[in-house]
């Protein structure tokens, strides 16, 4: 890192990919120092994608100093400290391992990899190189979800009995929607590895492991509703090999049961992510469409006013996470702020030595669950999640 911005160290960022997630990450890098007092600040050094014209336009919009059209050139540069991977899943492993070998910190979009085997390679690479690493599971940084984590850690819920979550969308219902290409790579198994399991359920799984601990085993079913689509790269009709919908049951190691569902065929739902946790003393629930609210039912509440309470997570007294960095109490924040929080935690961790979670190793646990879910759906049997030794 180099120091010039207000006397603070600069973390020189090299972003690979300038799609939707590239925008979300760039916004976070640009905004974090405006609201968080940090020991170092991001510096947008270079952005890379294959289309030079598009990359220049992106660099101009978001403030990157230079561009590359080959990620290998980006990784080889001496003026970059951290590589941020925002490209289709099939590239994650090669870019991350190359960046780690070059001594770069690595931030990677979710899911970690195409498979747990690839994810293990990535973990070994960053751990051998001793470089800071993080995966962008941003929903951990929703203040209401972070508050839920704190309440669970404090024992407010007691023994956990049930965990349930879903993530519903509707954008792939049309049968004439093609697969593959810049905007639709998530429908191409060769680019994405899986469908809703790696794209949407991975978020639900990561949050569940963070809030409720490891899973023991899973049983799952998947469905591909449209079996063939035109592939944009070839213009030919090709089989669709990703999962359009997935539902699974699990047992957690703490004895609780889990129910998970995700689909892109839920008409009327654009990004409905909900979770609920039922415990011995209390229950919690959260909804992405009302993300600044955490709902709580406590058995300790007595009398005729007992019931679900809606907690508006905007207080500044230190009891609610992150919110003292933003506006006055009562004014909510949104999706984009979760990425700002994640950047802030990553930068803080560089100084404190406490890595910002989820690290690659943390995200590998989610990847193992995704693999087990797909294995179970293919076999029709329960699949164990006993963790292999490192």
Last residue within a domain, chosen from 138, 156, 185: 138
Question: Which pLDDT tens digit goes with each residue over 228-281?
Answer: 999 999 999 999 999 999 999 999 999 999 999 999 999 999 999 999 999 999
The candidate with the shortest Cα–Cα distance to 273, out of 293, 289, 256, is 289
Query: What's residue 101's pLDDT?
Result: 98
Residue 16 φ/ψ, nearest 5 degrees: -110, 110
Residues in the chain: 390
Domain match, 112 and 206 both: no
Distances (CA, A) of 257 to 148, 157, 232, 262, 376: 18, 15, 41, 17, 17
Report yes or no on 279 lying in a domain: yes
Q: Quick check: is 48 in a domain?
A: yes
Are 13 and 44 spatial neighbours (Cβ–Cβ below 8 Å)? Answer: yes
pLDDT band at 389 (very low <50, low <70, confident <90, very high): very low
Query: Same domain for 105 and 68?
Result: yes
pLDDT, residue 5, reads 65
CB atoms within 10 A of CB 203: 22
**Domain boundary, last residue among 115, 138, 161:** 138
Specify whether 60 is located in the same domain as 165. Answer: no
Q: Are residues 150 and 125 in the same domain?
A: no
- The tally of CA atoms less than 13 A away on the side-chain side of residue 353 is 0
Structural domain harbouring 114: 2-138
4: confidence class by pLDDT, cuts 50, 70, 90 = low
Average pLDDT for 172-190: 94
**Same domain as 235, residue 375:** yes
pLDDT tens digit sequence for 313-322 = 999 888 899 9
Q: Report if residue 384 sits inside a domain.
A: no
Task: Specify whether 131 is located in the same domain as 100.
Answer: yes
Q: What is the mean pLDDT of the chain?
A: 96
Residue 390: pLDDT band with limits 50, 70, 90: very low
Q: Please determine, for residue 130, whether its predicted confidence score (pLDDT) is greater than 90.
A: yes
pLDDT tens digits for 46-61? Answer: 999 999 999 999 999 9
Question: Looking at 81, 106, 138, which one is the last position of a domain?
Answer: 138
How many distinct structural domains can be found in the chain? 2
The whole-number pLDDT of residue 170 equals 98
**Same-domain check for residues 215 and 76:** no
Residues 227 and 317 in one domain: yes
* Reported pTM: 0.96
The pLDDT of 193-215, averaged and rounded, is 98
- HSE, CB side, 13 Å, CA atoms: give it for residue 252: 22
CATH classification of the domain holding 55: 3.40.50.720
| Between residues 182 and 157, the one the model is more confident about | 157
pLDDT confidence of residue 60? 98
Interacting residues of 210 by C-beta distance below 8 A, sequence separation 6+:
140, 149, 357, 358
Is residue 125 domain-shared with residue 145, that is, in the same domain?
Answer: no
Q: What is the pLDDT of residues 26-41, one digit of tens each?
A: 999 999 999 999 999 9
67 pLDDT tier (thresholds 50, 70, 90): very high
Task: Express as a percent the part of the chain with pLDDT over 70.
Answer: 98
Residue 387 has what pLDDT?
57
Q: Check whether 224 has a pLDDT greater than 70.
A: yes
Residue 185, pLDDT > 80, answer yes
Which CATH number do you get for residue 298?
A: 3.30.360.10
Residues 267 and 374 in one domain: yes
> Domain for residue 385, yes or no?
no
- 137 three-state secondary structure: coil
Query: Quick one: pLDDT at residue 303?
Result: 86
Mean pLDDT within 86-114: 98
Confidence of residue 302 (pLDDT cuts 50, 70, 90): confident
User: Does any domain span residue 390?
Assistant: no
Q: Is residue 61 part of a domain?
A: yes
Shared domain check, 191 and 150: yes
Query: Residue 229: its pLDDT value, please?
Result: 97
pLDDT above 90: percentage of residues in the chain? 93
In a domain, 234, yes or no: yes
Name the pLDDT band for 287 (thresholds 50, 70, 90).
Answer: very high
Give domain status of residue 389, yes or no: no
Q: What is the pLDDT of residue 46?
A: 98
**Is pLDDT above 70 for 3?**
no
When pLDDT is averaged across residues 301-317 and rounded to a whole number, the result is: 92
Is the domain of 132 the same as that of 153? no
Q: What is the pLDDT of residue 305?
A: 86
CB atoms within 10 A of CB 358: 23
């Amino acid at each position: 890192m180099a120091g010039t911005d207000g006397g603070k160290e600069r973390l020189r960022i090299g972003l690979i990919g300038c799609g939707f997630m590239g925008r979300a990450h760039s916004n976070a890098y640009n905004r974090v120092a405006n609201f968080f007092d940090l020991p170092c600040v991001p510096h947008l050094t270079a952005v890379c994608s294959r289309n030079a014209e598009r990359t220049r336009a992106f660099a101009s919009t978001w403030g990157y100093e230079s561009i590359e059209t080959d990620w290998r050139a980006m990784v080889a540069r001496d003026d970059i400290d951290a590589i941020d991977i925002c490209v289709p899943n099939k590239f994650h492993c090669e870019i991350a391992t190359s960046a780690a070998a070059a001594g770069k910190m690595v931030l990677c979009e979710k899911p970690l990899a195409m498979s747990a085997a690839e994810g293990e390679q990535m973990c070994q690479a960053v751990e051998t190189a001793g470089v800071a690493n993080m995966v962008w599971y941003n929903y951990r940084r929703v203040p209401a979800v972070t508050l839920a984590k704190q309440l669970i850690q404090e024992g407010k819920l007691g023994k956990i009995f049930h965990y349930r979550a879903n993530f519903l969308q509707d954008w792939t219902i049309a049968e004439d929607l093609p697969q593959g290409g810049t905007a639709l790579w998530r429908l191409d198994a060769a680019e994405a590895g899986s469908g809703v399991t790696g794209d949407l359920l991975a978020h639900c799984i990561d949050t569940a492991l963070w809030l409720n601990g490891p899973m023991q085993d899973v049983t799952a079913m998947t469905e591909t509703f449209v079996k063939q689509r035109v592939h944009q790269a070839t213009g030919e009709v090709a089989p669709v090999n990703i999962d359009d919908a997935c539902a699974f049951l699990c047992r957690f190691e703490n004895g609780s049961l889990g129910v998970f569902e995700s689909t892109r065929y839920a008409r009327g739902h654009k990004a409905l992510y909900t979770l609920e946790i039922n415990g011995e003393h209390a229950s919690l629930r959260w909804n992405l469409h009302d993300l600044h609210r955490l709902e709580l039912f406590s058995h300790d509440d007595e009398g005729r006013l007992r019931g679900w309470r809606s907690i508006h997570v905007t207080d500044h007294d230190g009891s609610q996470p992150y919110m003292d960095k933003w506006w006055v109490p009562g004014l909510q924040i949104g999706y984009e702020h979760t990425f700002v929080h994640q950047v802030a935690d990553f930068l803080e961790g560089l100084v404190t030595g406490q890595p910002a979670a989820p690290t690659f190793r943390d995200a590998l646990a989610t990847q193992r669950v995704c693999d087990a879910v797909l294995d179970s759906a293919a076999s029709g049997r329960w699949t164990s999640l006993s963790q292999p030794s490192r």
